[in-house]
Homo-oligomer: A and B are copies of this chain.
Amino acid sequence: MPKTIVGVMGVGEQATPQEIETAYQLGQQIAQAGWIVLSGGRNVGVMDAVSRGAKSCGGMTIGILPRVDSEMSSAIDIPIITDMGNARNNINVLSSHAIVACGMGAGTASEIALAIKAKKHVILMTDDREAQRFFRSLNPELVSIAETVENALNQLKVILATQK
């Protein structure tokens, strides 16, 4: 039976220390819940931190890489090499049962929008009020906000239970 996959999207090179810390803890909690972490797979920012967090708790990690020569996070178990740049963002969201967005930037925004288009639930972990208002206005049923990792996990449990 296919495993439950949680996509964690977020800022790359520009991630703040707090976003890195949040992503790391998210990875730990997702792994402890028995779910697989899916990310953009590169060796920076949220993608790297969430994967390292998951591995620190014995979890499994998938990285959907943009290029053949992308520098991969050392914490990826299953690298999927797309070689299609940001068009891979659509694969990230389609392959995830639910998505957490950690921080905000143009790449992350594209993933949230593609997720809504694909009718996937997205949990926003950002204090960017403009982003919160905009994405909630696009679809208030699919987009929610979490202020803490614990709250994000509780929301994921509800969302994923509904899908079964």
What residues of chain A have their CB less than 8 Å away from a CB belonging to chain B? 1-3, 5, 36, 62, 64, 68, 72, 74, 76-91, 94-95, 104-107, 109-110, 113-114, 116-118, 128, 130-131, 133-134, 137-139
Copies of this chain present:
4
Chain B proximity of A140: nearest CB distance (Å):
12
Task: Give chain B residues whose Cβ lies under 8 Å from the Cβ of A3.
Answer: 77-78
| Contact in complex: A91, B95 (CB < 8 Å) | no
Please determine whether A106 and B139 come into contact, CB atoms closer than 8 angstroms. yes
Q: Please indicate the chain B residues that have their CB under 8 angstroms from the CB of A36 in the complex.
A: 78
The residue from B77, B79, B83 contacting A87, defined by CB atoms under 8 A apart:
B83
- Knowing that A87-B88, A109-B134 touch, tell me 8 more A-B residue pairs with CB under 8 angstroms: A2-B77, A68-B118, A81-B95, A82-B94, A83-B85, A84-B87, A87-B91, A110-B113
